[in-house]
Structure 1
């Protein structure tokens, strides 16, 4: 996979990122690839925040993966900084290639560079394949998550 580059996302990557977010049963219900304006506005907010990293994996000039990494300073755990991995997506043509592992490893390495003491992520309860993937990478299903839609 030496032809793979993981780099910060740029605005022109948004159509490919949104297409990957929408390319599964859950994403198909909640994403709107036909109207990119809310995604572009969110991207600008994210790039203005020094604690946010949106990256894309590019192969042969094509965006084939993405994730968001958020660095969160905190008081708990003796003032530890943690990171949160969100929005991990791999293009359907690349699934099973090891790209997901490379993206997560990038996030873990970046978290270490940011002096994080903990890396966490959430995954929808229906994504059992993703759960096995994260467990193989050393993540433990240690908490129960809750959401409140506003």
Structure 2
């Protein structure tokens, strides 16, 4: 890890607006939730069992995110698995080891939780990200499907 930033778990006292500023770089067309909805989602994220949002922080500034969920499981000896989402590094911080540090921290957490696997999905067009995931030991091993649901709000 670089001395320019640290990786740590997000805490309720962190600013969800600042976290969303980084997340918004993954999907710039994503509408920013209003403050009430963002605050509610932030509170729910911290209350969810098995959920941990990792942040890369430089000084007081969030420069990267990685969201994890450890899922209880009945197969594989009833060992849980981890799902990784929202791996995002702020534009000025890319290629400085931020994503690698975040992912290695998530892998450490998965190992500590007794997970038998860590899985993530990545947009098929993000070939550079796919090369990165391969460089830290992930292998393309499945065909993924998504069905986006329409908003009810």
Cα distance in 2 for residues equivalent to 1:4 and 1:21: 17
Q: 2:122 maps to which residue?
A: 123
Tell me, yes or no, if structure 1 residue 21 matches structure 2 residue 20: no
**Unaligned stretches of 5+ in structure 1?**
none
- Larger relative helix fraction: 1
Tell me, yes or no, if structure 1 residue 111 matches structure 2 residue 113: no
Q: 1:10 maps to which residue?
A: 11
1:130–1:83 distance in 2 versus 1, CA, 3 Å: same
**Is residue 54–residue 67 contact of structure 1 (8 Å, CA) maintained in 2?**
yes
Structure with more relative contact order (C-alpha pairs < 8 Å, separation 6 or more):
2
TM-score (norm 2): 0.88
**Unaligned stretches of 5+ in structure 2?**
none
1:58–1:139 distance in 2 versus 1, CA, 3 Å: same
Report matched runs for 1:131-142 at 5 Å. 131-142=130-141
Aligned length: 147
**Is residue 5–residue 58 contact of structure 1 (8 Å, CA) maintained in 2?**
yes
Task: Quote how far apart the aligned CAs of 1:56 are.
Answer: 1.1
Task: Quote how far apart the aligned CAs of 1:2 are.
Answer: 2.6
TM-score (norm 1): 0.90
**Is residue 54–residue 66 contact of structure 2 (8 Å, CA) maintained in 1?**
yes
